[in-house]
Structure 1
Amino acid sequence: MAMTHRPFPARIGPSSAARSDLAWVLAGTVLTFVLSSALELQEQLAALAARFEAWQADEIPLTLIALSFGLAWYAWRRRAEAAQLLAHNRELAHQLIAVQDSERLAVARELHDDLSQHCTAIRIEAAYIQRTQSGAQIAAAAQRVAPTAELLQHSVRRLLRRLRPAELDELGLVAAVQSLCEAWQQRSGAACTFHHPDGLAGLGEAVDATVYRVAQEALSNVMRHAQAKSVHIELAWIPTGLELRVEDDGLGFDTGARVHGLGLLGATERAAALDGQLTVVSIPGAGTCVRMRLPLRTSRLASARWATAAGAPQESAA
């Protein structure tokens, strides 16, 4: 069973344009009635249709009435569908706000509880060094400052990694995903393989970050829910751009019944921000496949493919 995530339309509130359009429809209806009464159009149309009785032309008015009712029903169904999508859109917006607030709270708490304490400790030691005259005491204070500064540096790196993976800047997309796969295998105990075109490059920071984060969230979901023995990650070219696939052999689930977490929502929004599409295919007992397709501009796609043309696809096992 497949479920496709796509961006939702923006909320559209009541407007004066809708009331104006309705007024024009009513005015046109009244004007038609007045003209028809004055010119006896119905009688003239009936007489004209009678001449073509062999062609059943006299049935056209009733057919047009049926068509009008059909179009009205079609418009009502589309309006109900739009209202449902808008309600879902509002729910997603509330969830995204909750995610943002939660992330900001977590960062603020870490800044206060971790970085603030380290900075305070360094400030106390610096004040002590200013007051003391003993070289031995200064050396001892410096020794106390060094590990505190190291802890502070680790805390800063951890926060920066939450905001943007340092591996992307240091290693590039392919090596960063490979490192992610290896780290996940060590934590989970399940096998993880990564298949990719050789020399994949030139996609841009936004695409790199999106691919990495979606792969990261997919692996996180596998560890939390799937109980899988193996996971396979694949990056591949498709005619319209780039495709990421993360497949596992775990428990699977019913995509129509399950309420998806905020992590998958964030992955969906990341793909939608680049005009991409994220699809989850899963069957209970038969594993899950998370697939993301990102359309790339022709020039960027040609440049990236040119960079990979000389190499064969590579497969790595963590």
Structure 2
Amino acid sequence: MARTAHESAALRRRSAIELAVVVGAAAATWALASVLELHESLVAFFARHESWQADELAIALGVLALGLAVHALRRRRDAEQALASEQRALADAARLAERNAELARGLIALQEDERAAIARELHDEMGQACTALRMDTALLKRAVALGDAEAARAAASRADQQAQSLLRGVRGLLQRLRPAHLEMLGLAAALEELCAGWQARSGVACSFHGAAEAAGGLGAEAELVVYRVAQEALTNVMRHARAGRVQVLLAREGESLALLVEDDGIGLPPEGERRGLGLLGAAERAAALGGTLALEGAAGSGTRVRLTLPLQPQRQQQALETTP
């Protein structure tokens, strides 16, 4: 940006210098012509060569000079417009680079927060479950050694409960890291299970509407983007929205798939206070797949997250059209 501003100032300085040179040359020509009486000499010359129409040459040269002056002014204007366009392009590139850097920093922070949350869950919940399981198995061994059938049954029952709790925790972590239900059940069923699990954890009513065939033709990467957007939107509702009801809708709109997550909470905060780097990252992934992600809502009127992705046949057609 500083370089282009310097170039613009240099262009103006060169134009001013060239204008001064032209004015100076014209003044020097007038002074020289006055001293040498060039006009009288030219008149006498043209009179002797009237048969060649040499006296009309001055008019032609004047028109040529005027045309060259107009041409120079137009080229200067074109150069200034090109320079201004380059400045705007560089400014847009700088803003984009700043936004990408901010996104990268936010995604790194989000990744570290997720890792810290998983580490806490492993330590607090699964670590405690493993410790309790070891204690119950130790009690079971002791009861068996003593021949105390009642104590052995109680210890075995507690160990079974701890094992089930540990299994649920492992499944929950795996679901957060990689939703296996997408591959086993499909997108619609996985979203329905996500809503049911989220409702059980949050206590907020969450309804899902969508048919399995709505996502037909959507690739595995696009299905993961849809799932992550729904997951992040529900997480934001739980953290910030103070909602009493959430609705998740999956529908086909022509050659596109639309996901809508809508709540009746407090709405979006002011522009400068908005959160949700997870949704920002999802928006970048959606854009890479030819889709869009929109966040709508005002204070007190709830929030709506809308994701639109082109289905696979359309993407393949676009790829064919853009292939050289």
Q: Distance in 1 between matches of 2:289 and 2:185?
A: 23
Q: Distance in 2 between matches of 1:110 and 1:249?
A: 30
The 8 Å contact of residues 187 and 212 in structure 2, kept in 1 or not, is answered as no
Pick aligned residue for 1:155 from 169, 181, 185:
169
Equivalent position of 1:206 in the other structure: 221
CA, structure 1 residues 181+275, in 2 after alignment: closer, same or farther (shift >3 Å)? same
* Aligned-partner residue type, residue 72 of structure 1: L
The count of residues paired between Structure 1 and Structure 2 equals 258
Equivalent position of 1:90 in the other structure: 101
* Aligned-partner residue type, residue 77 of structure 2: A
Give the deviation of 1:185 after TM superposition: 5.6
- Which 10-residue stretch deviates more, 104-113 or 252-261? 252-261
Equivalent position of 1:164 in the other structure: 178
Is 1:139 paired with 2:152?
yes
Superposition map of 1:248-259 within 5 A: 248-253=263-268, 256-259=271-274
CA, structure 1 residues 283+133, in 2 after alignment: closer, same or farther (shift >3 Å)? closer
Is 1:293 paired with 2:298?
no
Q: Distance in 2 between matches of 1:246 and 1:74?
A: 40
Greater RCO (CA < 8 Å, at least 6 residues apart): 1
TM-score by length of 2: 0.63
Pick aligned residue for 1:262 from 261, 268, 277:
277
Q: Distance in 2 between matches of 1:182 and 1:132?
A: 42
Pick aligned residue for 2:75 from 53, 64, 68:
64
Give the deviation of 1:85 after TM superposition: 1.8
RMSD value, Cα = 4.0
* Aligned-partner residue type, residue 98 of structure 1: A
Equivalent position of 1:106 in the other structure: 117
CA, structure 1 residues 69+270, in 2 after alignment: closer, same or farther (shift >3 Å)? closer
Q: Distance in 1 between matches of 2:233 and 2:129?
A: 34
More helix by share: 2
Equivalent position of 1:129 in the other structure: 141
* Aligned-partner residue type, residue 80 of structure 2: F
1:14-70, Cα deviation, whole Å (9 max, x unpaired): xxxx9xxx9xxxxxxxxxxxxxxxxxxxxxxxx8893496xx564111111111122
Is 1:115 paired with 2:99?
no
Q: Percent identity of the aligned residues?
A: 44
The 8 Å contact of residues 193 and 233 in structure 1, kept in 2 or not, is answered as yes
Q: Distance in 1 between matches of 2:70 and 2:185?
A: 73
Which SS does the other structure have where 2:259 is aligned?
strand
Is 1:276 paired with 2:291?
yes
- Which 10-residue stretch deviates more, 120-129 or 103-112? 120-129
- Which 10-residue stretch deviates more, 130-139 or 207-216? 130-139
CA, structure 1 residues 183+160, in 2 after alignment: closer, same or farther (shift >3 Å)? closer
Equivalent position of 1:241 in the other structure: 256
Give the deviation of 1:96 after TM superposition: 1.0
The 8 Å contact of residues 259 and 306 in structure 2, kept in 1 or not, is answered as yes
* Aligned-partner residue type, residue 108 of structure 1: A
* Aligned-partner residue type, residue 279 of structure 1: A
Give the deviation of 1:301 after TM superposition: 8.2
* Aligned-partner residue type, residue 141 of structure 2: I
- Which 10-residue stretch deviates more, 100-109 or 182-191? 182-191
Give the deviation of 1:142 after TM superposition: 3.8
Give the deviation of 1:75 after TM superposition: 1.0
Q: Distance in 2 between matches of 1:166 and 1:151?
A: 19
Q: Distance in 2 between matches of 1:291 and 1:79?
A: 32
Equivalent position of 1:43 in the other structure: none
CA, structure 1 residues 62+139, in 2 after alignment: closer, same or farther (shift >3 Å)? same
Q: Distance in 1 between matches of 2:193 and 2:82?
A: 56
Which SS does the other structure have where 1:162 is aligned?
helix
Q: Distance in 2 between matches of 1:132 and 1:188?
A: 43
Higher CA-based Rg: 2
